[in-house]
Structure 1
Amino acid sequence: MSATRPKTRRPTIYDVAKLAGVSPSLVSLVLQSPARVSDKRREAVQAAISELGYRPSRAATTLASNRTKSIGLLIDDYRNPWFVDLLRGMEAVLSDLGYHVMLADSRPGANRVKDAADGLLALHVDALVIAAEPSESMLAESGVPTVVAGWRKGVPAGADLITNDDDGGGGMAAEHLLGLGHTRIGHLSGSDGASAHRREGFRRRIEEAGVELLIAESKGTSEEDGYASACWLLEKHPDTTAIFAANDTMALGAFAALKARGLKVPSDISVIGYDNSPLAKSKYLDITSVDNRSDLVGIDVANSLLARFENPAIEPQRTLIEPVLVVRSTTARAAC
């Protein structure tokens, strides 16, 4: 087999067919259902594809199958490491099946969430994963299989909800700090759905122990929010001996606030985060954190979508992923 690869344009399915000595329709069959083609012809087509450097047209495949093999993922802050594990879990299931994930960031702003979702739907994604607070207009059915990842204040009609057991995770954080003898405990929280569940689980266990909970709540959960909330907490309650942050990024902001006041972790104040993100796992920071198993959330999200592709009529599911506490060097017993 020999041919000169076109230099002035991308090779087409017709170039592949000519080089392989088969029809364009058979090339298409090899691309979509290779098992239905004899070994000899399939190998000839694959050799031609390799020699020409041919890449199938996604647009053409979409027209032929009425599917784009794309999943829209809507997030609310690309800086949050939680989304990295979520995406990794999704792709672990979807990539081998030929699906790709299209990401849209809907950082706070007028109609940003709706606009981002509309943008994904306009690209004719086969399904939508919402990992952000949905707008009121999104609470109706989107017209494609939809899964909500993580706790949100609302879930669109007909959508699955797959999330971490953040109430249980908050309780784990409280149990850990109480077990270390802390009784002046502060909590840095956000206003999103996940933060609310973590806060509630933490508050419930703290109050059961008869300990006052000191809460510093901010609108967001960024490093800057963590710094500002920790500054407020330490100013109002300087005798605080432990801080539970709604995520590892907020915990990083708390470290900066403590350093600015000459306080050391954990000898002066223990700090525990949430998500068990790469920040927490770094050897330098080594943050005690609740692992919410967001990679498993991503895997379950992908499997849920595949199930809905097979049977769109199945009832909406609610799935909780159990967290695990990972103890590292930022928490210690309360000073006597």
Structure 2
Amino acid sequence: MWKEKVFQSSKRMAVPIMTHPGIEIIGKNVYDAVTDGKVHFEAIKALSDRYPSSVCTVIMDLTVEAEAFGASVEFYKNDIPTVIGRLLPDMQAVERLEIPDLGKGRLPQYLLANQLAVEHIKDKPIWGGMIGPFSLAGRLYDMSEFMMACYCEPEGAKVLLQKCTDFLITYCSALKQQGVSGVVLAEPAAGLLSNEGCEEFSSFYIRQIVKKLQDDNFMIVLHNCGNTGHCTPAMISTGASGLHFGNSVNMVDTLKECPKDVLVMGNLDPVSLFKSGTSDDVKKATRDLLERTSEFSNFIISTGCDVPPSVSLQNIEAFYAAIDEFNRLR
């Protein structure tokens, strides 16, 4: 029903991928939010109360699932965590790798944040978040080494990808059971591949997640900010109900390439525009993107990736002001 509302509305909806400003609004830091599900939820709720996003999203933290497998993670007070070192030194280690249960690492805290959001935010859909299988495999094996393995040891690479996929299906199933309306599945590392490579080593596995979980009440939104336009066909082939693009693509060309019954989202630069630009810059860029994409009923304006910490609230307000002005003229 929400998806149909997007298609039928004459107004342009906005779904920025944004949680960090909410953390700052409630007086907490990034470390607090990525380690405590209650703080994470409070940041989501603060943004939901303050701004008219059409959907609530969670932090795009691409270390949670790798940590659950046993990867080492380095934490920072005011930035998102990073995976350090290499969990899997060779393909023999891949064979021995066990799929973790949902009690490992910080998974319970992220499940808690989603659960609290579902319970307390009733006026809009909640989208959970998780990493994609190729990006997860790269964090476990080392991204450069895994890229080589895909071409030198493809069968072993596919064993790891399948283990990652099986785990992600379990995690995504738990999110769905909590009542979230969908997940943003972040697969940025797949943008390093050719379209054919993306199809073989990413989309093939994402299709399993889509087939298992996507239905009339739950949608998969595939995010790939590493795509410069070269692997859009592989993204489309997953069957995901929504496709989310980074600022490296031409949004109009991308919309022309995507099926009209698929929601297409993007792609204002979260760093050079939202963090480093002025409110006038943000307003102008937002208005320009809205005008250039005005003919496409399946477009939802968004940031090209997660809005980073320390973004000016004036810039966020300029983003929504531009959308409001555009919609008043519709």
Q: Which TM-score band applies after superposition, normalised by the shorter structure?
A: under 0.3
TM-score (ref. length: structure 2):
0.28
Larger radius of gyration: 1
Normalising by structure 1, we get a TM-score of 0.27
Bigger helix fraction:
2
